[in-house]
Chain A
Amino acid sequence: MDLQKYRQPDLINHVIDDIKKHTASVKFMEVCGTHTMAIGKWGIRKLLPKKIKLISGPGCPVCVTPSSVIDELSKLKKVTIATFGDLLRVPGSSGTLEKARALGLRVEVVYSPMEALELAKQVETIFVGIGFETTIPGIAHTIKIAKQQNVSNFSVLPACKLVPPALEALIAGEETKIDGFLLPGHVSVIIGSAAYNFIPQKYGIGGVVTGFEPLDIIVGIKKLLENLDQPQIINEYERVVTKDGNKNAQAVMFEVFAVQDALWRGLGWIPNSGLSIREEYAQFDALKKYGLRITDIPENPQCRCGDVLQGKIIPPSCTLFDKVCNPQNPVGPCMVSSEGSCAAYYKYER
């Protein structure tokens, strides 16, 4: 099978040899959780010379959902909460949606926002709108259809996040000096590789959009090293990502949503990194319908997810890691989803 070409040890070693020729000490951030997982699974960190550090970014929409979202949802009575399964085990300040469901909260796991809309035709339903650009257009489209079909039982809690503004905030953050980004494949299908051009232009940092194979990732690292002097955005995932992305999807997204500041778990408020539902669709805005508020409530002070998500520490530096916090008993969101940084380290790099 063709795929073998992405796995050949010879080829991988060859690229690693090229990488070893570079002498710079650098820190690259892999933005996407699926990359974090692949890096762990294929032992890529161990193959790289020590002076090349890979740090994990805020690449999982579940990980960055603030606990107040869980808390607010947990209060809802007589409404069915429809959500992607990933969210069930994310801790709020007093437990998860899974636990709340055991105590009587009505929670249904759906695969698609359209499924939630169907559910709303029977019972009052609130869909938890989490996700990055990969997911947002589908949620926007569903809201449009709800309006066309006049489904009054349906609303969406807008907690979606935009990736490029978060990257900008991470670059601007004083503590983490990032020398390059491995950019997420599936977010880029929608926004296109050109959406990151501001990073080299404004900040002089390069990025590579890559797929999820070991060779994809290693070649991505090699390209970042080669372009340190002339930083640019390179698309190594032309299998599915174009320069401009999917314009239809972008149009629907901004027809329904307007850009606003958003609260990221572990990172705080980031300007222009979130979305609110536009006035024309206000009847489907769960924040208005139920008077919900997404606020910055203190997390468990010992959990260092915030520092992990900003690349300030690696998971084993958290005192709870593997002692109190593990995938069966996650304290913070980075341990919850299988692609959170702490979960990836727990599984592959302990």
Chain B
Amino acid sequence: MSKMCLAIPGRLIKNLDGNKGIVDLGGVSKEISLAFIPNAIEGDWIIIHTGFGLEIMSEKDAFEMINILQEAYK
């Protein structure tokens, strides 16, 4: 079941040209757009929704959120 309006944290592992990047989502790599957070740099934790980075967040907050989601949707 996809959760349409949920956003999930991932880690930016590579900046690509044209405001794009590769994120690591718990072992799965995915290309996303950084159009809304052009200042994101490699290593940043990002909240991601439908292929777009929405905001940069702290590592602590990202871990917290990952746990919440795993718990709620397992």
Contact = CB atoms under 8 A, between A and B. Distances in A.
Contacts of A33: 5
Interface in A103-139: 109, 111-115, 130-132, 134-135, 137-138
Contacts, number: 115
A171 to B, nearest CB: 22
Contacts of A248: 35-38
Nearest to B31: A114
Most buried by B among A141, A240, A242: A240
Nearest to B51: A112
Given A113-B50, A186-B49, A252-B35, A2 B60 contact: yes
A151 B33 CA distance: 18
Interface string A229-240: 000000000011
Interface in A197-247: 211-213, 239-240, 242, 246
A137 B68 contact: no
B3 A339 contact: yes
Interface in B40-74: 47, 49-52, 54-55, 57-58, 60-61, 63-65, 67-68, 71-72
Interface residues of A, number: 48
Interface in B1-54: 1-7, 33, 35-38, 47, 49-52, 54
A82 to B, nearest CB: 12
Contacts of A111: 2, 50-51
Given A2-B63, A189-B47, A112 B5 contact: no
Interface stretch (A34-42, A273-281, A286-294): A34-42
A34 B1 CA distance: 13
Contacts of B64: 2-3, 6, 239
Contacts of B63: 1-3
Contacts of B50: 84, 111-113, 131, 135, 138
A112 B54 CA distance: 14
Contacts of B49: 134-135, 138, 186
Contact of A113 (B2, B3, B51, B71): B51
B35 A246 contact: no
A85 interface: yes
Nearest to B8: A186
A61 interface: yes
Contacts of A2: 60, 63-64
Contact of B4 (A6, A62, A213, A252): A62
A184 B55 CA distance: 16
Contacts of B38: 248
A128 to B, nearest CB: 11
A309 interface: no
A138 B33 contact: yes
A62 B4 CA distance: 8
B15 to A, nearest CB: 16
